[in-house]
Amino acid sequence: MRQLHPSGSARFWGATSVQDAKVARFRTGDVVLFTGKNHVRGIGEVGLTFRNEAFANTMWEPDPIKGSWRNVYSLLSFRPTEIHYSEIWALPGFNHGDHFMGLRVLKEEQAQEILDGLGIDTVTEFERKLARDVAVASALAAGTTVIPVEAFNTPETTYTRSARAIRVGRAESLLVTEYKATLGGAEVQRLRTPAGLTDLHVTGAAGTEVIEAKSSAEHRYVRQALAQLLDYAPHSPQPADRLTALLPVRPRAAEVALLHRYGIDCVYRVAPHTFDRLAAPEEARKHMRAVWSADTAGQ
């Protein structure tokens, strides 16, 4: 894989000399991680892919052994990062010590874990959601049938888009990393569930705890954490004793009350490496624990 070169209008080009079969699987909106020296150095979103030796030779000097870097792709967006491999190793589908040598195309499940685990939000997915919202609003206003979400596909004519950078949610990841370091001898992992990937799944002397982190203590973030925790909890291998929202600052009383109403604790950062817990009333937790552990998938 060759380094990227800017090519006007915030577009980037890359190329490989690997088998055509791998590059042929690239699609608009796919995410590419650029790795090296134990870190993810950059994250990009695939735009156009094609095979053209003459074009590649105008961009890159052919390799003396491998020849032209003829399998070419562009990036719709690119963001430099410094993410240590350990964040990926902590995900359920990856192994500690994997240094991601060469070009690797991940299977769908692993790819989704990367997107969820690193908090990656692509331009293509953003525009797909926007197109869906516009279509639903138009259908409702016109009194016509709403098209199912699965029918919305981003068109391939993606190069007239207004500029928008790929988003990488580092705040939540850093918050989780800092909090994880305070947990001592507890068994800490990330749990893959049918509902998604938990931020933390902790098993220790106090029992089993499912934790969801958010980058803000504002109401909509707290509400998202609440919904995700209730979605994850029934899938815990051991019945959850606690559900916890992890926040960067103390939320307002109304947000704490919302969590406590459903038996959910609030842990927030008060200083570097220091966190405080606002525990839910035991009566509320006891009442909700049966709901957390209820498996209604077969009903």
Intervals of CATH 3.40.1350.10 along the chain: 170-292
pLDDT digits (tens, 9 = 90+) for 111-158: 889 998 998 988 888 888 777 777 777 877 887 766 665 554 444 433
Instruction: From residue 252, give the alpha-carbon distance in Å to each of 94, 230, 245, 266.
Output: 38, 21, 14, 11
Predicted confidence at residue 22, as pLDDT, reads 67
Helix (H, G, I), strand (E, B) or coil at 17: coil
Element (H, E) at 47: strand 39-51
Predicted confidence at residue 299, as pLDDT, reads 39
Q: What is the CATH number of domain 5-121?
A: 3.10.590
Pairing state of beta strands 242-247 and 207-213? parallel
Selected residue with higher pLDDT from 269 and 66 = 269
Residue with tokens 């150095």: 41
Predicted confidence at residue 148, as pLDDT, reads 60
Predicted confidence at residue 24, as pLDDT, reads 65
Predicted confidence at residue 164, as pLDDT, reads 65
User: Residue 253 in contact with residue 284, Cβ under 8 Å?
Assistant: no
**Annotation: CATH topology of 170-292:** Trna Endonuclease; Chain: A, domain 1 (3.40.1350)
pLDDT digits (tens, 9 = 90+) for 187-246: 999 989 888 899 999 998 889 999 999 999 999 999 999 999 999 999 999 999 999 999
Intervals of CATH 3.10.590 along the chain: 5-121
User: Residue 285 in contact with residue 244, Cβ under 8 Å?
Assistant: no
Predicted confidence at residue 157, as pLDDT, reads 37
> Apex CA 77: angle with CA 85 and CA 19, to 5°?
65
Average pLDDT rounded to a whole number, residues 42-69:
85
pLDDT digits (tens, 9 = 90+) for 249-294: 999 999 999 999 999 999 999 999 999 999 999 999 999 998 887 6
Element (H, E) at 187: strand 187-189
Predicted confidence at residue 127, as pLDDT, reads 80
Selected residue with higher pLDDT from 12 and 243 = 243
Predicted confidence at residue 57, as pLDDT, reads 86
